[in-house]
Structure 1
Amino acid sequence: MTDADPTGNRNTTVYERLGVPTVINAHTTATRLSGGIMRPEVADAMREATQWTVDMATLEARASELIAGHTGAEAGYVTSGAAAALLLGTAACVTGLDPARMNRLPDTTGMKNEVVVPRSHRNFYDHAVRAAGVTLVEVGLSDRFAGAGVRDTEAWEIAAAITDRTAAVLYVAGPDARPPLAEVVTVAHAAGVPVLVDAAAQLPPAANLRRFVAEGADLVCFSGGKAIGGPQASGILCGRRDLVMAAALQHLDQDILWEQWNPPPALFDKARLPGLPQHGIGRPAKVGKEAIVGLLTALDLFVAEGDDARIVRWTAQMERLADGLRGIPHTAVRIVRDRRNGTPTVELTLDEAALGLDALELVRRLQDGRPSVAANPSRVQDGIVLLAPVALRPDDERTIAERVRAILSAG
């Protein structure tokens, strides 16, 4: 991609003009690495969106209808990321449609202000849940991860932890998540408590857009800037219409007179409200019209491409990368696939003693060189460097192979 600069030079990128080096991202669509590569159709839609102004509630209401069509949920909402969706979803579970409670957050005194979570589901992202003013109540012991046994949290333990202070049950989806979501939904709903699912990175497969709602989740959060290919600062909150409405009320700019406010009925039911809340706890997580349009465009493209075509595209790139790495002395190369969705990854194993260089040092040199290459260090303790396709540009695989060869040949 090239852009003209003010002097007429068409051979520089915007980052070169800013003096910011770019990164070849063979790690993941991590936020610290600015996510992935946006398809031109998405960028074009975002640029087009900047040329007009719209009523944001009306735009989000239309987004709700389109997201509902893709997810099977009653309603949907575009957020500024999956973490923002967790914050808004938690706030909705705490306040319901009570604007007085919305105005008080994060002060939850006198409200339902606890969220039950299996201990093995805890992670740094649940800070977004706690930011709504709730306390997380951990349940169970994850002996299978600690190596002390085979058990994890069980549904009856979640049921026993639910009290009249419980606003929601938080469930972090993943291939190893226990107990099964359907069991959690059963015990939570028996107590009248909603289930909030963090499914930020659970795409592909595209079927997961519908899976969690179909299993009974009340709210589901997805990242828009990962495999969907939308703007990095975008996400999806979908689920029950009343809860999505409550989330929207705590997110949108509400500086409008009650008599003037004429919200779109696709998302809002004005008759259920005594009045409008002030700017809510989600207001700092504002999402722009460009991001909403970009996310909706990317979502359509993600679903239209389909899992099989996506895997074929990624596999071809990983095969070219593996071919470029083969034959390097004291290394072994293979392609491994994610057991959930078939996503291919190149696994480069080093004979660290023979090379005189360990896997972490290779990751560091790739990162610190030019061009910078971000590799996945999650298995460096085993002498393995992982290289993934999701955020690569065409032909990045050639540059990665050249960088690896240069580093390993230098020792």
Structure 2
Amino acid sequence: MRSQSQTEKDVYSQYHLKKVINASGRMTILGVSTPRPEVVDAVSHGLSEYFEIKDLVDKTGQYIAKLLNVESAVVVSCASAGIAQAVAGLIIKDDRDLLFNLHSSDKYVPREIIVPKGHNVNFGAPIGTMVSLGGGIVVEAGYANECKPEHIESLINADTAAILYVKSHHCVQKSMLTVAQAATIAKKHNIPLIVDAAAEEDLYIYYQQGADLVIYSGAKAIEGPTSGLVIGRHQAIEWLKLQSQGIGRPMKVGKEGILGLTKAIELYVNDPKQETGQQMVSKMTPFIDNLNSLPGVLANVVWDSAGRDIARTEIAFDSTVVGKSAIEIVELMKQGEIAVYFREYKANEGKVDVDVRSVTSAQLDIIYNKIKRIILGVK
């Protein structure tokens, strides 16, 4: 039997793959996260067995719902598929004609999905595309830098199918109404509220605040396999599950993903082993000290802009001293035998962030030495 190290060597050499240090966080382009061994075992078991898939979907959903104390839950293929199927479910409900002909039928049903303008973002694909896949029409509320409850309420009419609230670091944070405020409006007008909380860590709060459907990535904070989780009201989840016969068919999740995510949620709830923000600070303090010894480099601790307990290292490069822009350094860090990926959102401002959740202390040393070589011009 081959050892794990031998298998790893074969994968990289056989397919000519580059090794990666993921200092950007739980990012889809890098494979998101690395699940615990118990989750890997559940995935492996799922691959080795047969199930009645509908029964597997229903029973694991019931188990997850009990764990999280919610009405209902279902595992989907990913968070973005969850958005599309949630929108479709709330538009179609149990109308079989629309289920089979969502995009070709001219039957009238409410299709407008109200989204705060600052939430209509591109997370790797546009939020609007996911809504359109689900048969919805995006209606933007408020402004790019402001959305108040009255902005949403003024747009509600007979064509409104749902409100969609996106809880994400990608979104504008300032001057935005809260989930609780959005839920109050939804309840007042008897329309459903969908919360896209893909990368969020709290599996309880948005449901408790009144959301009808809450969507999470299974592979981000929960650290499951590629998958998604939707929790919410029983009827809304049942309508979403019907999408397996409609637009959800090409988005179906495999048996291994269902069992793997169910195990990951169980561990996440009952045996949390997550690194705290202060532990992250302790791990990256020597890294920050080393960086600050380099000419033209200023490193310090920053906290997650969306309010999560995540500390990161912000590195500012003075291009007049370093001789290269942050954008150039970002690209150089991806070259060589080991590609290093930063959070690049502020590169145009001369800054990058290092997310240390998936990075070891030894890998932080590799990152520092690679930056040092680039700045000092040595190989």
The alignment's TM-score, normalised by the length of structure 1, stands at: 0.83
CA distance in 2: counterparts of 1:84 and 1:71, whole angstroms:
21
Given the superposition, is the C-alpha separation of residues 398 and 108 from structure 1 closer, same or farther in structure 2, using an over 3 Å criterion? Answer: farther
Change (3 A) 1:32 1:369: same
Alignment CA distance shift 1:37-1:396 (3 Å): farther
Residues 123-160 of structure 1 deviation map (CA, whole Å, 9 limit, x = unaligned): 21331111122211122224xx3xxxxxx222223222
Q: SS at 2:9's partner residue?
A: coil
* 1:7-65 per-position Cα deviation (integer Å, ceiling 9, x unaligned): xx567142332222121110122212221222222212211221111111222122212
Q: Is residue 248 of structure 1 aligned with residue 250 of structure 2? A: no
SS of the equivalent of 1:237 reads strand
- Secondary structure in 1 aligned to 2:164? strand
Output the CA distance in 1 between the equivalents of 2:110 and 2:20.
45
Shift of the 141–108 alpha-carbon distance from structure 1 to 2, 3 Å rule, reads farther
8 Å Cα contact 2:148-2:175 kept in structure 1? no
> Does the CA contact (< 8 Å) of 2:295 and 2:321 recur in 1?
no
Q: Distance in 2 between matches of 1:309 and 1:345?
A: 12
Q: 1:166 aligned to 147, 160, 177, which one?
A: 160
For 2:72 and 2:175, locate their aligned partners in 1 and report how far apart those are by CA, in whole Å: 25
Specify which of 291, 294, 298 is matched with residue 264 of structure 2.
298
Say if 2:195 is the partner of 1:197.
Answer: yes
Structure 1 position 359 matched with structure 2 position 326: yes
Structure 1 residue 188: Cα displacement: 2.1
Looking at structure 2, the residues matched to 95 and 121 of structure 1 have their Cα atoms a distance apart, in angstroms, of: 24
The aligned counterpart of 1:388 is: 355
Task: Tell me which residue corresponds to 2:231.
Answer: 238
Q: Distance in 1 between matches of 2:313 and 2:269?
A: 25
- Give the RMSD, CA atoms, in angstroms: 2.3
Q: Distance in 2 between matches of 1:157 and 1:101?
A: 30
By how many angstroms is 1:171 displaced?
A: 1.1
Structure 1: 4+ residue segments shifted above 6 A: none
| Contact in 1 for aligned 2:87/2:135 (Cα 8 Å) | no
Shift of 1:229: 0.8
Compute the displacement of 1:316 (Å). Answer: 4.2
- Counterpart in 2 of 1:266? none
**Residue 86 (structure 1) shift:** 0.3
Q: 1:325: which partner in 2? A: 291
**Structure 2 CA distance for aligned equivalents of residues 19 and 37 of structure 1:** 21
Change (3 A) 1:68 1:11: closer
Indicate how the Cα distance of structure 1 residues 141 and 333 shifts in structure 2: closer, same or farther if over 3 A, else same: closer
Cα deviation digits, residues 175-218 of structure 1 (max 9, x gap): 54722222222222222211111111222xxxx21111111111
- Of all paired residues, the percent bearing the same amino acid is 28
- 1:48-59 map, 5 Å: 48-59=45-56
Q: Is the 8 A contact 1:63 1:296 kept in 2?
A: yes
8 Å contact kept, 2:115–2:163? yes
Separation in 1 of the partners of 2:279 and 2:148? Answer: 40
Question: Is the CA contact (8 Å cut-off) linking 1:114 and 1:165 kept in structure 2?
Answer: yes
CA distance in 2, matches of 1:353, 1:296: 51
Candidates 112, 126, 129, aligned match of 2:128: 126
Q: Is the Cα–Cα contact under 8 Å of residues 3 and 14 in structure 1 kept in the other structure?
A: no
Instruction: Tell me the residue number matched to 1:218.
Output: 212
Instruction: Give the number of aligned pairs.
Output: 367
Letter in 2 for 1:209: L
User: 1:313 deviation in Å?
Assistant: 4.9
Structure 2 stretches lacking a partner, 5+ long: none
Go from structure 1 to structure 2 and tell me whether the alpha carbon gap of 1:281 and 1:393 turns closer, same or farther (over 3 Å shift). Answer: farther
Q: What is aligned with 1:76?
A: 73
Q: Distance in 2 between matches of 1:10 and 1:104?
A: 46
Please say which of residues 288-297 and 318-327 is displaced more in the overlay.
318-327
CA distance in 2, matches of 1:121, 1:11: 40
Match of 1:42 among 39, 44, 64: 39
Aligned residue identity for 2:293:
G
